[in-house]
Structure 1
Amino acid sequence: MAAYIVATVNITDPVRFGAYGKAIAGLSERHGGEYIVRGAITEVLEGDVAPSERVVVSRYPSAEAARGYARSAEYLAAAALRVGAGTVEMRLLVDPD
């Protein structure tokens, strides 16, 4: 079953957040992931969402692969680089089919 990580990102310090981005470059792919979409919100259709928020959706072959990415030592070390530079909220969705 395919699994998806959906992350919402709010960047407060682009320079420092950039170090995080460089540190995770290629990491998702090494865990079997592929990016579906990543970018700024074009339009808020409903709800209280910061217009500057960014969204990243990546697909993995399984929930285990997605968790492997999010729990890997490399990801956790990279996440430490973004402390104070922005926030990331990650959700795991599993396609039941």
Structure 2
Amino acid sequence: MSVYLIADIKVTDDGWVPDYAANVHKLVEKHGGRYLSRSGHIETLEGVATDSTLIAILEFPSREALDAFAADPAYAPYGQARQAGSVSTFRLIDDTDIAGTIPYLKAG
């Protein structure tokens, strides 16, 4: 089952960004993942706006593939640099479609 990583990032020190951008893409691909979007063009349509600098959405073929990416020793220095130079919230969702499984959300 595919899983999606939603990375919501507020950059506080952009020194890590060039190395991260140049190297992490290859590590994502190594684990079967792909970027669906990496954008700083963020518009809040509903709810409370955040001060995010960028949001990235990545797709992995499975939770195991995502976990392998996150645990890859080659990713560790980039992840640590990102954590030191940003406030990051990473969320994981799978490709489950709950439409039709609860009474108020009919299947399409």
Q: Secondary structure at the match of 2:65?
A: helix
Number of matched pairs: 97
Question: Greater Rg, structure 1 or structure 2?
Answer: 2
After TM superposition, list the pairs within 5 Å mapping 1:54-93 onto structure 2: 54-93=54-93
Matched, 1:11 2:19: no
- Contact 1:43–1:51 under 8 Å retained in 2: no
After TM superposition, list the pairs within 5 Å mapping 1:29-68 onto structure 2: 29-68=29-68
Cα deviation 1:32-75 (Å, max 9, x = unaligned): 00111110143111222334431111111111101111122122
Question: Which range moved further: 31-40 or 15-24?
Answer: 15-24
Q: Which structure carries more relative contact order (alpha carbon 8 Å, separation 6+)?
A: 1
TM-score normalised by length of structure 2: 0.75
TM-score normalised by length of structure 1: 0.82
Q: Secondary structure at the match of 2:67?
A: helix
Structure 1: 4+ residue segments shifted above 4 A: none
Q: In angstroms, what is the RMSD of aligned CA positions?
A: 2.0
- Contact 1:41–1:52 under 8 Å retained in 2: no
What are the ranges of 5 or more consecutive residues in structure 1 without an aligned counterpart?
A: none
**Higher strand proportion, which one?**
1
Q: Secondary structure at the match of 1:26?
A: helix
- Aligned-pair identity (%): 30
Matched residues in 2 for 1:44 and 1:32: separation?
30
